Structure 1
Amino acid sequence: MAMHRHSLAVSLLALLALAACGTEPGPGAGSGHESRTGSGRSGGSGTVRSDAPITGIRWEIESVTVSGKRSAAPAGAHLEMDANGRASGNYGCNRFTAEARLDGDTLTVEPGTTTEMGCAPDTQRFEALLSQAFSGKLTVVAKGDRLTLTTAKGGTIALTARPPAPLTGTRWRITTLVSGSVASSLPAGTANKAHLTFGKDGTVRGALGCNSFRGTADVSGTTIAFGRLVTTRKMCPDPEMRLERALLDVLDGKRTAYGITHRTLSLTAPDGKGLAASAPEKEEEGAEG
């Protein structure tokens, strides 16, 4: 099964090299030990092209169809490719990496790696379908931002390209605190309580875990200069107040470096303190701060 997971990854990869239509600025999933997998034959003369305009794009795995029956992919199932021609992604439970060779519209998969986590029953069933659908050679068809991989027996995998989340207008949910090279989770009981949204007019608003805030945010190149934040004045339980103090250390009156990798935003102040935040999988129009 792991072999076929990896073959999916690379197949998509190869596919992308044929059909991707743009580059966006631009990463993880569960833990588990890694094992070498796959027995794909290296046929054909083409290789996955690392210079193709596909890096930084997230390819969502939508479904697999076997014997005419379509099964939806688990949430989070996706494929990405780096500038070195390496495919990586997540099937909704396990991660994978792989490489591939492409000959015309036929993809042949090289051995790759996958984690071996125990997954929910529905996800395990989906991965079993992938192991059946992704054996042997795959035929690639690309139309716009949609990809289809077809097996010799007529099974198919459907994929769709999804661009990175934009900085402005996205409700960024704060998920991680950073101090130098150390990343830590939020204080217990504060998950989903802190978020921020940047406006196109140079403003920022959101919640710090306890109090709401608003202020200015001047975006220039890869940095954001935050003005002094105006906050409400509620008193909250200790974990929420600790989170609030940590976020103010990063945001209040600071100039931070920022970066977006697909749907993850990172902010880092000059002293090394920072945060990571994630965008919702489905954008919330007109999200409130």
Structure 2
Amino acid sequence: MDKQRLILVVLTVLPLAAACGTDKAGSGSVSAEKPVTGVHWSVDSVTVDGKTHKAPEGANVEMKDGKAAGNYGCNHFNAKVTTAEDGTIRLSHATTTRMACEKPVMTFEQTLADTLVGGALKTAVTDDHLTLTTANGDTVRLTESAESTS
């Protein structure tokens, strides 16, 4: 269950950290065209070792004021986000609900957690899409969406 918390925190913190890191002009690896914080992001997928895993319906994250919160399709989560000078972000102090979810959702949550907790994540915003990338090239893809009512 600790990995679920980490996954949820990472999803929440990554966009927040990216938004915080756009104040200074850096190497250009972070796009400042659109803000990362204060935006409701729907999780689309996570790609690990070249294999893409589609996110469950309702998976989302919103980051603001150094915090991330959302739903991973079954479990709700909260986390803290930190941003490095190079624009990368890290998720920490994640907490999550511990609902018994369907196996495919739990499998996705585990995959996402393993992807996001491995270290710094690079952020890239293009139009209404956010991509978080690990040092190994694994990615989490998100799309801006209207705030959910659930």
Question: Shorter-normalised TM-score: what interval?
Answer: 0.7 to 0.9
Q: Which residue of 2 aligns with 1:27?
A: none
Q: TM-score with structure 1 length normalisation?
A: 0.43
> Residue 93 of structure 1 aligns to a residue in which SS?
coil
Q: Which residue of 2 aligns with 1:238?
A: none
User: What aligned pairs does 1:86-235 form with structure 2 within 5 A after superposition?
Assistant: 86-103=67-84, 104-134=86-116, 135-163=118-146
User: What aligned pairs does 1:12-51 form with structure 2 within 5 A after superposition?
Assistant: 12-17=15-20, 18=22, 19=32, 21=34
Q: TM-score with structure 2 length normalisation?
A: 0.79
Deviates more, 1:149-158 or 1:1-10: 1-10
Change (3 A) 1:79 1:16: farther
Q: 2-side partners of 1:81 and 1:62: how far apart?
A: 17
1:62 to 18, 38, 44: 44
Gaps of 5+ in 1: 22-51, 164-261, 265-277, 279-289
Give me the identity figure in percent. 39
> Residue 16 of structure 2 aligns to a residue in which SS?
helix
1:76 to 48, 53, 58: 58
Amino acid at match of 2:67: R
Q: 2-side partners of 1:263 and 1:115: how far apart?
A: 18
- Offset at 1:6? 1.4
Change (3 A) 1:58 1:20: farther
Q: Which has the larger radius of gyration?
A: 1
Which structure features the higher share of strand residues? 1
Q: Which residue of 2 aligns with 1:3?
A: 6
Q: Answer whether contact 1:106 1:137 (CA < 8 A) is retained.
A: yes
Which structure features the higher share of helix residues? 2
- Structure 1 runs, 4 residues or longer, greater than 6 Å off: none
> Residue 131 of structure 2 aligns to a residue in which SS?
strand
Q: Deviations over 1:235-269 (max 9, x none)?
A: xxxxxxxxxxxxxxxxxxxxxxxxxxx344xxxxx
Q: 2-side partners of 1:151 and 1:53: how far apart?
A: 17
Q: Which residue of 2 aligns with 1:213?
A: none
Identify the structure with bigger relative contact order (alpha carbons < 8 Å, sequence gap 6+).
2
**Aligned residues between the structures:** 135
